């Protein structure tokens, strides 16, 4: 079993829909990252969380340390949000990544 599990693996939605991507982890962590990867490979860090909730524009990330669970929400989704979203946890001095959620927003 992977230390970091994401769901769903693939998600297709209509423009404007509210999107939720989930991440569960099985190890003790110091921080959790949500990352965005576009075709071509470059990774952009969206959020780093150790507790609570963070918001940036239309993106919201939450974490529940007791339940070892985090969610990434996108409000009013747009085709430009189409990308792979990756959850990564910092534990034992290294980052461990989930396999990613491929999000496609249809106009």
Query: CB-wise, 17 or 26, nearer to other proteins?
Result: 26
- Which positions from 37 through 76 interact with other proteins, judged by CB under 8 A? 40-45, 48, 50
The SS3 assignment for 65 reads: coil
Among 13, 17, 20, 31, binds other proteins (CB under 8 A): 31
Q: Which pair of tokens denotes residue 70?
A: 């985090």
Among 33, 70, 72, 105, binds other proteins (CB under 8 A): 33
What is the Cα–Cα distance from 59 to 81, expressed in whole angstroms?
10
What is the Cα–Cα distance from 34 to 59, expressed in whole angstroms?
11
Q: With contact defined as beta carbons under 8 Å apart, do 84 and 37 qualify? A: yes
Residues that bind other proteins (CB under 8 A): 4, 30-31, 33, 35, 40-45, 48, 50, 86, 88, 90, 92-100
């Amino acid at each position: 079993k992977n230390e970091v599990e994401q769901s769903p693996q693939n998600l297709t939605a209509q423009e404007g829909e509210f999107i939720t991507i989930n991440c569960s982890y099985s190890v003790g962590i110091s921080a959790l990252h949500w990352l965005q990867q576009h075709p071509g490979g470059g990774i952009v860090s969206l959020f780093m969380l150790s507790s609570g909730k963070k918001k940036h524009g239309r993106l919201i990330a939450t974490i529940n340390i007791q339940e070892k669970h985090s969610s990434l929400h996108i409000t009013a989704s747009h085709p430009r949000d189409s990308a792979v979203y990756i959850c990564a946890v910092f534990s034992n001095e290294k980052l461990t990544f989930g396999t990613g959620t491929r999000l496609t927003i249809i106009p």
